């Protein structure tokens, strides 16, 4: 039996969380999803994640939460990331960083799915090499399950495409996050890995990548820091559904999803 994963794009603040609590079960039913993974690094007020917001996401049907550079924005994340096994941060942070870079969760039918989070280095933090970190993590995860999902939280399209090809045939999917703009390049690479440069955003689209457009424009014009607030209008859920062969761990199908709420 194939396994079907849903990966939900970066959840932005309360509008994103509320959209999921209303609509996620409908998407899960329509696409016959076995397991839901979501990027939650912007779920609390647009920056970071708190215990309450993480629990809200688990309650609405998300089985595992990935993150990225903003995971550290809310101070309580430093503590609960150590305890919460369903939450991952990029694996290529320096040794000693709280939390874990990968985890293994199970579908209701008992199939094990590994979730690996990595962060890019182009226009981002100076972290360890995501390619070499992926090699190490995958070698270990393969001993547990052939199904490996990778969230590559990165800015540059070229870095994302390169990691997709680098891991082609070795993981089930490499899906990009961080830019909040959904790309239309979903496909299965020649080795059998599902790939998409960026899954997009779950939140308000009358905005600049989720925040109120007025402050974003002001920041660009004045070149001074601006206090960003989560926007409120035109809420959409961006996601991707990936069908995976349970035995080989390779992808059988990939479908881009964008739902207005
Ligand atoms: Fe990010």
- Judged against a pLDDT cut of 90, whether residue 217 lies above it is answered with yes
Q: What is the pLDDT of residue 75?
A: 87
Spatial distance between the Cα atoms of 3 and 20, rounded to a whole number of angstroms: 22
Q: Which of 70, 153, 178, 180 is catalytic?
A: 70
The proportion of the chain whose per-residue pLDDT surpasses 70, expressed as a percent, equals 100
pLDDT bracket for residue 226 (50, 70, 90) = confident
- Residues sharing a CB contact under 8 Å with residue 229, sequence separation 6 or more, in sequence order: 46, 211, 212, 215
pLDDT in tens, 8-64: 999 999 999 999 999 999 999 999 999 999 999 999 999 999 999 999 999 999 999
Domain limits at 37? 3-260
Instruction: Tell me the CATH number at 241.
Output: 3.60.21.10
- Judged against a pLDDT cut of 90, whether residue 163 lies above it is answered with yes
CA of 162 to the centre of ligand 1 (A): 19
Helix 157-166 and helix 130-141: axis angle, to 10°? Answer: 30
The 8-class DSSP code of residue 105 comes to E
- Residues sharing a CB contact under 8 Å with residue 215, sequence separation 6 or more, in sequence order: 226, 227, 228, 229
Which range is least confidently modeled, 71-75, 180-184, 208-212, 217-221? 71-75
CA of 104 to the centre of ligand 1 (A): 22
Cβ proximity of 32 and 61 under 8 Å: no
pLDDT in tens, 57-97: 999 999 999 999 999 999 888 889 999 999 999 999 999 99
Mean pLDDT confidence for 134-148: 98
Verify whether residue 180 is a known catalytic residue.
Answer: no
CA of 177 to the centre of ligand 1 (A): 7
Mean pLDDT confidence for 109-123: 97
Spatial distance between the Cα atoms of 2 and 240, rounded to a whole number of angstroms: 16
Q: Distances in Å between the alpha carbon of 227 and those of 14, 118, 217, 219?
A: 17, 28, 12, 9
- Judged against a pLDDT cut of 90, whether residue 230 lies above it is answered with yes
CA of 109 to the centre of ligand 1 (A): 32
Number of domains in the chain: 1
């Amino acid at each position: 039996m194939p396994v079907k994963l849903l990966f939900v794009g970066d959840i932005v603040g309360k509008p994103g969380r509320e959209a999921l609590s209303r609509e996620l079960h409908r998407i899960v039913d329509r696409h016959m999803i076995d397991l839901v993974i979501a990027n939650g690094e912007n779920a609390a007020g647009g920056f970071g994640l708190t215990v309450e917001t993480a629990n809200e996401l688990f309650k609405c049907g998300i089985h595992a939460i990935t993150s990225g550079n903003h995971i550290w924005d809310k101070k309580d994340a430093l503590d609960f990331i150590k305890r919460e096994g369903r939450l991952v941060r990029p694996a290529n942070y320096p040794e000693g960083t709280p939390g874990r870079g990968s985890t293994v969760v199970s579908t209701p039918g008992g199939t094990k799915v590994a979730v690996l989070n990595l962060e890019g280095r182009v226009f981002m933090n100076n972290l360890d090499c995501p390619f070499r970190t992926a090699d190490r993590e995958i070698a270990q995860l393969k001993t547990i399950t052939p199904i490996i999902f990778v969230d590559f939280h990165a800015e540059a399209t070229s870095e994302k495409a390169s990691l997709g090809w680098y891991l082609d045939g070795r993981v089930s999917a490499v899906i990009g996050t961080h830019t909040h703009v959904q790309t239309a390049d979903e496909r299965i690479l020649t080795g059998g890995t599902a790939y998409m440069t960026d899954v997009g955003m779950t939140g308000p689209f009358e905005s600049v990548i989720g925040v109120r457009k007025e402050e974003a424009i002001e920041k660009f014009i004045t070149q001074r820091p601006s206090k960003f607030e989560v926007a409120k209008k035109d809420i959409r859920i961006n996601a991707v559904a990936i069908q995976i062969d349970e035995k080989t761990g390779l992808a059988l199908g990939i479908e881009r999803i964008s739902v207005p709420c």
